[in-house]
Amino acid sequence: MSMAATVVLYPSPGIGHLISMVELGKLLLTRHPSFSITILTTTTSFNTGSTAPYLRRVSSTTPSITFRDLPVIPLDPASFPSTEAITFKLLRLNTPHVRRSLLSLSTTTTIAAFIIDLFCTPALPLGSELNIPTYYFFTSGAADMPSPMLERNSTEYECFIDFFNHMPKSDGIIVNTFEALEPRALKAISDGLCVPTGVTPPVFCIGPLIASGEDRGGGGGDVEECLAWLDTQPSRSVVFLCFGSLGLFTGEQLKEIAIGLERSGQRFLWVVRAPPTQTPVLLALPDPDLGSLLPDGFLDRTKERGMVVQSWAPQVAVLQHDSVGGFVTHCGWNSALEAVCAGVPMVAWPLYAEQRLNRVLLVKEMKLALWMNESESGFVTAEEVEKRVTELMDSEEGKAVRDRVKAASEGTREAMSEGGSSRVALAKLVESWKQS
């Protein structure tokens, strides 16, 4: 293989998918600097968490990663039932553009491997057509049950079944996890239980891949302010509440969280987004008006021990801060890994995508989180918020979870260090490209 080989990454458009794919690119460059990395990016006509500032920052800090924008395909969010439906349609329409990009790249360089997101399955056949080894990069944990799987008559369900049927046809599956975190799921896969009728492709656990402290979008002055505030708080005393790039609550739910936090007496750093309005969730949202959203006088009464930030906080830096002792999270996989790496125990409050499944894993299997109980409709009362936050910060059960997270955090360092399981898996993966 010639020196100037490139690895092409094709993430789906959501910021969560994009970040872990970029981190995969950086990891490859760190360990195997002879490769260059090309990332195919999809511009959407709907909100997937703001990606532009993030992409600009990566381009400036890591010049060996090149972004190639695929042509814009205008789709109207109003005519689709869900974010998943519009995303899957967009990625199907992308395929000819992806093919053109791969062809034009291969005139100037050898494409060593083509790595696609699960949702980018429509591009899988391009690999065998153009004779490029093609791998899936699975940005969640190794076991998974996303919400669209629950509704069997939907197009989203059909798309998922199609994705999962195609997965075994790839040259391998790269997963953002590490062996010691999910031993049972990985054993089931390697024993062939997941593909009873065919061949299971090799699985490479190369995680945890998380963005570095300064790398997650927006911020500016607010970032400094919230880290400076944490500097003034006692060690491990603050509960951090943050619900991902698309996590939105009604005004009513925000008030319950506020009352629960106030009653708990715990110190807190809470990221609040404006509640969804009648405009579809797929459009970007304004900053919230905290005064009208939160109970009267709440900000004044809690100003000594609490801080509310609007829309965004530097999550990795916050979780790694010495003052943070607990995390109420929507259980997005990136967030869960960031908490595990930082050794911060969690309260699991899933909202969308595969988060309910992640909660079962985090609470029941790994025992790194407590369960936030909600009503049938998903509503959580102030009492429940108060109880769980207090339990996490101030009980034997909370302490047991904290000790296990500490051990898992050590495990992440072992996996990523010289001779660790994730380092070995990455070396095997790259070896397989060099032979093709």
Assigned token pair, 420? 């660790």
Q: Which of 7-11, 30-34, 107-111, 154-158 is the least confident region?
A: 154-158
Of the pLDDT bands very low, low, confident and very high (cuts 50, 70, 90), residue 278 is: low
Which residue has tokens 């930082």?
Answer: 342
Q: What is the pLDDT of residue 1?
A: 46
H or E segment to which residue 75 belongs:
none
pTM of the complete model beyond 0.85: yes
Q: What are the distances in angstroms from CA 86 to CA 47, 50, 121, 210?
A: 11, 17, 15, 27
Q: Which residues of 242-267 are buried (b: 16+ CB within 10 A; e: fewer)?
A: bbbbbbbbeeebbbbbbbbbbebebb
Is pLDDT above 60 for 121?
Answer: yes
Backbone angles phi, psi at 186, to 5 degrees: -70, -35
Considering the chain, what percentage of its residues have pLDDT values greater than 90? 76
Strand pairing class (324-329; 306-310) = unpaired
d(CA 245, CA 312): 8
Assigned token pair, 234? 């006692």
Q: What is the mean pLDDT of residues 176-204?
A: 94
Long-range own/partner contacts, residues 352-357 (CB < 8 A, 24 or more apart): 352/147, 352/246, 352/247, 353/146, 353/147, 354/140, 354/144, 354/145, 354/146, 354/147, 355/330, 355/331, 356/145, 356/147, 356/331, 357/143, 357/144, 357/145, 357/146
Which residue has tokens 């509640």?
Answer: 275
Assigned token pair, 343? 């050794």
Reading phi first (left if > 0) and then psi (alpha if -120 to 50, else beta), residue 172 is in left
Q: What is the pLDDT of residue 146?
A: 61
DSSP helix, strand, coil percent of the chain (3-state; round to 5): 45, 15, 40
Which amino acid appears at position 396 of this protein?
E
Is pLDDT above 90 for 185?
Answer: yes
Is pLDDT above 50 for 247?
Answer: yes
The domains located in the chain, with CATH, are 5-175 (3.40.50.2000), 221-413 (3.40.50.2000)
Q: What is the pLDDT of residue 2?
A: 47
Beta bridge partners of 137: 117, 174
Give the contacts of 394 (CB within 8 A, at least 6 positions apart): 266
Q: Which residue has the higher pLDDT, 279 or 29?
A: 29
d(CA 286, CA 282): 13
Q: What is the mean pLDDT of residues 386-398?
A: 97
Q: How many residues does the chain have?
A: 436
Of the pLDDT bands very low, low, confident and very high (cuts 50, 70, 90), residue 248 is: confident
Assigned token pair, 434? 């060099």
> Which strands form 203-205's sheet, in the order they lie side by side?
65-69, 36-41, 5-10, 110-117, 134-138, 172-175, 203-205
Q: What is the mean pLDDT of residues 197-209?
A: 95
Q: What is the mean pLDDT of residues 318-332?
A: 97
Instruction: Give the start-end residues of each E strand in 192-283.
Output: 203-205, 238-242, 267-272
Q: What is the mean pLDDT of residues 33-53?
A: 88
Q: What is the pLDDT of residue 436?
A: 64
Q: What is the mean pLDDT of residues 412-434?
A: 96
Assigned token pair, 122? 């429509």
CB 271 within 8 A of CB 313: yes
DSSP structural state of residue 318: H
